[in-house]
Structure 1
């Protein structure tokens, strides 16, 4: 067994962030009767929010904004982009989104089957995530994923965000693993693949949309079931 310790990302790798966020945003669109403006649809609201949120997350991961700034600005910016004002964004919407989203349970195809397979084969499973600690644990519990992982490492718990190699080294230390016997599985070329590479850890790039890229990865898959061909 070349690898013994497997480190997974959570959002966009196991837990289907886009599907769960879409469901939550559609609920908020209806709850706050945003259709009354008549200038954008629920689909447009979701698309604009998603673009803004992704941009803010890149800033957060780069250390350029705080968690509080991310949460406070993503909905007001969405409303402005949709032709309204920051004041039109309901003050409670950000908190409602944060409260509702983690309870959604959509995961990527074969998530449970693959995690069962890997655990039964004797691999030790861990998680490394940049997500906010309190939210990530709710996601894991809601989606029945918590018990699969021995160590759950969040950026908040160690003070460093992926792709900083220090969060990977912290995860190795916490799990009692060495880099040569470890493998990182994640969807983000910078945070997961490059970050793990810089820590001396082999990587699996999870690329379900088969995006073209020039990055060098140890392995690449488009479906989690393909991990069975590697491990």
Structure 2
């Protein structure tokens, strides 16, 4: 089996449970801004529509078709418009409130701390994320993940977005790692797996929902605890 020295983790949807933390935040905003007063949609419907629109906007952002500012400005306007709320009635601070509250949530995937503690004794750990720099460090602090990682490489810091191979090459330079001694662990087949592959880095596809796919990955796991079987 290949010997690795550096492990690169994605953060959102891999270690930090974005869906759970976002769900809690959106329910809070639904109550805080009394969105139920419109009487045309429930909190669950609000969350469902937001999730679909946010994911679509993130795909555009990762393809460099919209900016970070545009993503943040339009996701709630589009969500509420879809639910029948005119733009003039969209709460003025809802986007800022979301950005302030969400990263302070602390839910992580099962076995996150146990596995990172185990791996830290054997490898040098880093993060490589497309998440916005101003919130990623808050997430790490809120979920007690900061101390596990030597370097945190964000798209804003590197100037590139996963799956661009240049982001991975930047990460290798920042950490002094070689591609053949590195392993990328992430939940996104395009951003994490394909991006790492194109940079000559082995990959672990974290697939907790066991989604069917046809990608050729180095390793695949459905629980973080499975990393201990080969690392």
TM range (shorter): over 0.9
> Could you tell me whether the CA contact under 8 Å between 1:131 and 1:155 is conserved in 2?
yes
Equivalent residues in 2 for 1:191-206 (5 A)? Answer: 191-206=191-206
> Could you tell me whether the CA contact under 8 Å between 1:153 and 1:171 is conserved in 2?
yes
Query: Is residue 172 of structure 2 the alignment partner of residue 172 of structure 1?
Result: yes
Equivalence for 2:188 = 188
Secondary structure of 1:170's counterpart equals helix
> Could you tell me whether the CA contact under 8 Å between 1:79 and 1:88 is conserved in 2?
no
Equivalence for 2:133 = 133
Secondary structure of 1:184's counterpart equals strand
Identify unmatched segments of 5+ residues in structure 2. Answer: none
> How big is each residue's C-alpha offset from its partner over 1:186-218, in whole Å with a ceiling of 9 and x where there is no partner?
000000000000000000000000011111100
Query: Is residue 52 of structure 2 the alignment partner of residue 51 of structure 1?
Result: yes
> Could you tell me whether the CA contact under 8 Å between 1:59 and 1:65 is conserved in 2?
yes
Equivalence for 1:209 = 209
Give the TM-score normalised by structure 1. Answer: 0.98
CA distance, structure 1, for counterparts of residue 46 and residue 118 of structure 2: 39
CA distance, structure 1, for counterparts of residue 138 and residue 152 of structure 2: 13
Equivalence for 1:218 = 218
Equivalence for 1:95 = 96
CA distance, structure 1, for counterparts of residue 194 and residue 64 of structure 2: 17
CA distance, structure 2, for counterparts of residue 37 and residue 63 of structure 1: 35
Equivalent residues in 2 for 1:145-156 (5 A)? Answer: 145-156=145-156
Equivalence for 2:124 = 124
Deviation at 1:5, TM superposition (A): 0.2
Equivalence for 1:229 = 229
Deviation at 1:230, TM superposition (A): 1.7
Equivalence for 1:63 = 64
Equivalence for 2:34 = 33
CA distance, structure 1, for counterparts of residue 100 and residue 3 of structure 2: 41
**Structure 1 runs of 4+ off > 3 angstroms?**
none
Equivalence for 2:10 = 9
> Could you tell me whether the CA contact under 8 Å between 1:205 and 1:221 is conserved in 2?
yes
Identify unmatched segments of 5+ residues in structure 1. Answer: none
CA distance, structure 2, for counterparts of residue 206 and residue 89 of structure 1: 36
Secondary structure of 2:203's counterpart equals strand
> How big is each residue's C-alpha offset from its partner over 1:80-132, in whole Å with a ceiling of 9 and x where there is no partner?
11122222211100000000000000000000000001012x20000000011
